[in-house]
Structure formats: structure tokens, C-alpha cells
Amino acid sequence: MTLLLGVALGGRTVLLVGGGEVAGRRARRLLDEGARVRVVAPRLDPVLADLAARGRITWTPRTYRRRDLRGAWLVHAATGRPAVDRQVAADCERRRLLCTNASQAGHGTARLAAQTTAGDVAVGVVSAVGADPRRSMAVRDGISLLLAEGALPLQPRRPAASGSVALVGGGPGPLDLLTVRARRLLAEADVVVADRLGPGEAVAEILGARTRIIPVGKHPGHHPVPQAEINRILVEEASAGHRVVRLKGGDPFVLGRGGEEYTACLAAGIAVDVVPGITSAIAVPQAAGIPVTQRGTATALHVVSGHDALGPLGASPATLAALADPAVTTIVLMGVAALPGLVGAALEHGVPAARPVAVVENGHTPQQRTTRTTLGEAERAVREAGVRSPAVVVIGEVAREGLLLPVPLTAPAAGTATPGPTTPRELIT
């Protein structure tokens, strides 16, 4: 039978007997753990030779002698010669030293586990009886995946030594559009400070029972929590030693004020990390079948907030230039209220009234709805459809209905109506 131990090897000497490939792999792993590695072997394989040349390990270039065991906490026998490995194991036994033995002939007194870590959790897998390293690795890989996805109960039971904040991009809404890293951080969190947009409070169903959710998004009939107050909550919770996830819609650094939250944490001396998310600027048009760039149609992207697209001086020169360029797609977030003003400015600037416009509400949710129109018609179409926030406005040739439909290979017979897409042939390459 086998008792798994977590051994702290930092600064402690481990002796590797043998200089081959297996010993090389072990050396790397032991060095990662902070161990001091000594190798006894007449020759070294390239990995070990390189480590020795760089002074990362010490090398005694000869065959094994019993006195090599002096000073070691752990010994690994991997000479490729079962008789020598057995001898090393027997010498260790006599000296009550733990010994791992890589040879098929015997297993020494210890075995290295197939190991994986997720955050600060380490999991090791060994066979209780005998050895089957490939199976141990397969089991390890399975557990590793579950840990990475946050599918296991990772929430710590003891307070962290110090609190922290992770600014996590939650994507446009569905839980399966969260990144794997976001899932793990959510599983580990003590506190989740959630927006309304993106996954919002729906993450409750994947959180540990003890995780608290603090909603700070705007709810119907409620005022949004002011940014300064959100910053204060983040700092206060982390200062109390909590692992805080600030779950934001889309990506934290795309028109989401993530930068301000980051700075507020730094200013308060709080450890802060950022996890990217799928931004609605790209994913919401995509949900409506609109590629934000398309070879031969649009090769650049201009993303702007509706609040800023129309400053006191009207639309910014950069936005007007983007709108005027048929090869640029303009994406407006928070743009429903600003749309009429923006359309007026664009038309005045000489942007063709026929420029396609699509407005996608509630992308990636069951309430998703797309309104297709043109610049000239946009104000009326959006009013008549009763378009509401949250919505992403797409202005540009990629918003043309049927852009991605295949063009018929054979020309229709003369006199018949043209079936299929409305996309002009020259827009597809």
C-alpha cells in the first residue's frame, strides 16, 4: 500500500543516480520544486549536461558509491541497470532514506506521483499496489481538466494569507462562453462582484455554496452602483482577506472601466490580475451572423462607445473617418441612444445613406434580435422596432443582409428572378 505525502523539497538535496533521459526529466521537476539536485553518473544526457553546464545541478562524473547517499533527503535511482538500481534501493533501505527506483526490477520505498496543480491545489496520482505510470498520468490528466474548468469544489475553506482581486471577463452571457480560467477563478472565489451584463448573477449556479455574490449592475428600477463605490467594494473585500472575482461583461478592458478598477486595486496595494473575456464588440455581431471583418469587404474595425462617439463637438474625426471608409466596420457599444445623432453626423459628413446598419440586441441570449437597415433609414427603423439596450450597432458593408450566403455557381436563365443572396458578387473573394 502507499501513503501519499506532500514533501517540501525547497533547499533540500536530492540525489539522482543515473544520467539518462528519465533522470533528466526528474531533475527538471525537482528543480521546479526548489530542490538541490546532485547527479552521480559516468555520462549525462543532453538535458542534464546542459543543466550541469549552467550550474543548476552538481554532477559527480563516475559510477555510484554508497557514500554518495550522504546528505540526501531523497534518492532517485535511474541508471537503466536493474542491478545497480536495486543496490541503491537496498543501501537507502539500510539508511532509512526514501528511494524512488525507476527500473522495472523493483520500486524502492517511494514513487513519484503523476502530479497536477490548479491555483494552489496540487493533486498527485499513484497506483496503490504495483506501478502503472501511464494510467496514473491518464487519471491525472482527467483530474487536471476538471480542476482547470472549475468543475471540482475548489473554494478554499481557510482564509487566504492575503486577499486578491481578479478582473474577469465574463463574455457576452452564456456560461459556456466563459474561459476555462474564469471558471476556475469563480470556483475558487470567496466573493463575486457581478455586473448585470454578461453572465451576471447567473454564475450563481456554478459557484461554491459559500461564495457570496455582490450585484453591482444596473437593475430595472435601481440605480447602478457608481464606479467609485465598486472600486471601494473591491478594495474592502480583498483587504478583508477574500479572493474576489470582479466578473464583468465581455472583456474587462474593452469599454468596461476595467482599467480604473485595476488602478484602484494597485493604489490600495491589492494584488490584482486580469483575465480576458470574449468581447460583445465581436461576439454579438457574430451571433447575428455578421463577421466584423471579411476578406474583400472590411479589413479594419473601429470600436467606439456611444457615449463618446458624439462628444460636445459631434462625432470624433476618427469615427467619421471610419464611417466614411467602406473597408472599415464601425462597432458602437452603448449606442442605442446615440444612434440618431451619430447617423445625422455621418450623413452630413457624406457617408452614403445606403451604408448597411445592423443593430443586435441581447446577443447570445434567447431574446436576441437583429434589426437590419441602412444609415438613411436607421433612425426610423430602430424607433419602429423599439430597439432597446443592450445592443451592439454595426455600421459597414459587413452588416449587409446575406453577406455570407453562397453565390450561385450557375447564372440564372434569362428572364427569371435572381434567387439567393443580395450580396453583390464583387464583395466576395
Which residues make up the interface to ligand SAH (CB under 6 A)? 172-173, 197, 248-251, 254-256, 279-281, 284, 333-334, 360-365, 389-392
Q: Which of 85, 91, 190, 195 is catalytic?
A: 195
Contact between residue 364 and residue 173 where contact means Cβ atoms under 8 Å apart: yes
In this complex, which beta carbon is closest to ligand SAH, that of residue 30 or of residue 387? Answer: 387
- Shortest Cβ 361–ligand SAH spacing (Å): 6
Respond yes or no: is residue 68 known to be catalytic: no
Residue in 262, 197, 273, 277 with CA at minimum distance from that of residue 231:
262
Cell of 297: 469587404
- Shortest Cβ 282–ligand SAH spacing (Å): 9
Cell of 137: 498520468
Distance of CA 232 to the CA centre of its chain: 26
Contact between residue 102 and residue 85 where contact means Cβ atoms under 8 Å apart: yes
Backbone angle region of 241, left / alpha / beta, with phi > 0 → left and psi within -120 to 50 → alpha: left
In this complex, which beta carbon is closest to ligand SAH, that of residue 239 or of residue 365? Answer: 365
- Shortest Cβ 374–ligand SAH spacing (Å): 20
Contact between residue 351 and residue 344 where contact means Cβ atoms under 8 Å apart: no
Q: Which residue in the shown chain puts its C-beta closest to ligand SAH? A: 250
Strands, sheet with 13-17, edge to edge from the N-terminal-most edge strand: 58-60, 36-40, 13-17, 74-77, 98-101
- Shortest Cβ 57–ligand SAH spacing (Å): 47
- Shortest Cβ 195–ligand SAH spacing (Å): 8
In this complex, which beta carbon is closest to ligand SAH, that of residue 24 or of residue 256? Answer: 256
In this complex, which beta carbon is closest to ligand SAH, that of residue 293 or of residue 389? Answer: 389
Respond yes or no: is residue 195 known to be catalytic: yes
In this complex, which beta carbon is closest to ligand SAH, that of residue 315 or of residue 332? Answer: 332
CA-to-CA dists, residue 141 to 135, 144, 167, 329, 354, angstroms: 10, 5, 28, 42, 55
Q: Which of 45, 218, 308, 325 is catalytic?
A: 218
Q: Active-site positions?
A: 195, 218
